[in-house]
């Protein structure tokens, strides 16, 4: 009988206890993978933002609009290359549950400000030249089965038209893709059409997004723009797009700290449960360990067997938890797209970190019982009942 068989036999000795430990480890790693994937999705916008892309919003809060006249003044600042207005529309398709992450922008400038946006030939021009045109992110287009050339109604839960209606008619002129998964969930309309048809918030924009000729100029341009509008009724706060996205997600609280605390608490509980159970298992096998030592098994060999049990148990539970989380998030991707958290997935780094944690958990929980097995004397072991 080899060492692997002994390890497997010992784990299968108390099947219910082993199953309960596996379930506890499974839950801990399922929680770890799900929370880390969520954090990855939330931070995707920050990590994919171009370093030379800046955002100006109202200094009070990004929900307070800025005058659209600020756009031309910002374009006139030395070092600013391309700029566009970006206003939140608050749209939905057919049913309020079908939320669209929809913005009013300048179609002629959009691809210049977001150069990683890719559209098939001719579609960008069609969108630019169509007053009621839409450019739709690939993910949203696939979700609703939209095609180029389709005519669709979109309603807003914020704005209304002059006739009292909350519904606008649009042509789908372009379907775009981009490396930034979250942006593929967007729907974009013409800001001019938006401004001409809404009954309030005319001549305003939620934010102004622009690019600079050099990252080295970012700080001076930020100070110039904010200084230009200082002491005005609509003061600005200008920062990089990455910093703005980080500030936006911070509205939800310190997610990194929250996730760290939750995962740490879960693992501390699992550490106590598994470690205590492994100690109990070794105590129950005291006489058997004495017999194995009598038959020639050395202390280090027995201690390695105990450590191997702990590692195997931890790895099996962890792989099940990580795998289940990856599968569940993949299956739920369509539902998550509705909240524009398309980047929520269990990435390779998350899987690698999970396996590393599993190995660490196995070593820590197995260390004390392995040491106990190493120190156990044959006479003491055989004499214990």
Domain boundary assignment for the chain: 3-45+253-383, 60-234
Full-prediction pTM beyond 0.85? Answer: no
Q: Which of 183, 156, 184, 185 is nearest to 169 (CA)?
A: 156
Q: What is the pLDDT of residue 220?
A: 95
Q: What is the pLDDT of residue 36?
A: 81
Measured distance CA(239)–CA(148) in Å, rounded: 35
β-sheet bridge partners, residue 211: 53, 82
User: What DSSP string runs through 221-277?
Assistant: HHHHHHHHTTTSSS-EEEEEHHHHHHHHHGGG--HHHHHHHHHHHHHHHHHHHHHHH
pLDDT in tens, the chain (385 residues): 565 666 666 666 667 777 888 888 888 888 888 888 877 766 655 445 678 999 999 998 878 999 999 999 999 999 999 999 999 998 899 998 888 999 999 999 999 999 989 999 999 999 999 999 999 999 899 989 999 999 999 999 899 998 889 999 999 999 999 887 778 889 999 999 999 999 988 999 999 999 999 999 999 999 999 999 999 999 999 998 877 766 655 555 556 667 777 777 877 777 777 777 766 666 656 555 555 556 555 556 666 777 777 788 888 888 999 999 888 877 766 555 544 455 667 788 888 988 998 888 888 777 766 665 555 555 444 455 4
Q: What is the pLDDT of residue 24?
A: 84
Give backbone dihedrals phi and psi of 115, rounded to 5 degrees, phi first: -65, -15
Measured distance CA(245)–CA(248) in Å, rounded: 5
Q: What is the pLDDT of residue 46?
A: 46
């Amino acid at each position: 009988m080899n060492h692997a068989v002994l390890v497997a036999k010992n784990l299968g000795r108390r099947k219910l206890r082993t199953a309960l430990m596996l379930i506890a480890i499974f839950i801990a790693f399922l929680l770890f993978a799900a929370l880390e994937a969520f954090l990855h999705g939330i931070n995707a916008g920050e990590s994919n933002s171009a370093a030379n892309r800046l955002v100006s919003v109202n200094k009070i809060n990004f929900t307070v609009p800025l005058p659209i006249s600020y756009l031309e003044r910002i374009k006139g600042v030395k070092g600013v290359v391309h700029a566009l207005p970006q206003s939140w529309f608050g749209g939905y398709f057919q049913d309020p549950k079908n939320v669209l992450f929809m913005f009013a922008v300048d179609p002629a400038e959009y691809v210049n400000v977001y150069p990683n946006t890719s559209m098939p030939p001719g579609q960008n021009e069609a969108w630019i030249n169509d007053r009621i045109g839409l450019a739709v992110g690939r993910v949203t287009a696939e979700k609703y089965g939209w095609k180029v050339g389709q005519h669709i109604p979109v309603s807003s839960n914020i704005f209304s038209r002059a006739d009292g209606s909350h519904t606008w008619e649009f042509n789908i002129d372009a379907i775009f893709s981009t490396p930034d998964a979250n942006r593929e969930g967007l729907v974009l309309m013409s800001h001019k059409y938006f401004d001409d048809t809404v009954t309030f918030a005319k001549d305003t924009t939620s934010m102004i997004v622009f690019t600079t000729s050099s990252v080295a100029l970012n700080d001076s341009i930020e100070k110039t723009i904010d200084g230009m509008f200082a002491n005005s009724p609509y003061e600005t706060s200008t920062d990089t797009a990455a910093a703005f996205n980080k500030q936006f997600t911070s509205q939800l609280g310190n997610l990194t700290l929250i996730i760290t605390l939750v995962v740490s608490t879960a693992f501390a509980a699992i550490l106590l449960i598994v470690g205590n159970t492994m100690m109990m298992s070794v105590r129950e096998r005291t006489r058997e360990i004495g017999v194995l030592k009598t038959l020639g098994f050395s202390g280090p060999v027995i201690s390695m067997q105990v450590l191997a049990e702990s590692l195997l148990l931890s790895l099996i539970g962890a792989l099940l938890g990580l795998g289940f989380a990856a599968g569940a998030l993949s299956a739920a991707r369509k539902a998550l797209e509705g909240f524009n958290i398309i980047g929520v997935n269990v990435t390779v780094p998350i899987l690698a970190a999970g396996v590393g944690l599993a190995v660490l958990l196995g070593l820590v929980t197995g260390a004390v019982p392995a040491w106990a097995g190493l120190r156990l004397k044959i006479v003491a072991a055989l004499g214990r009942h």
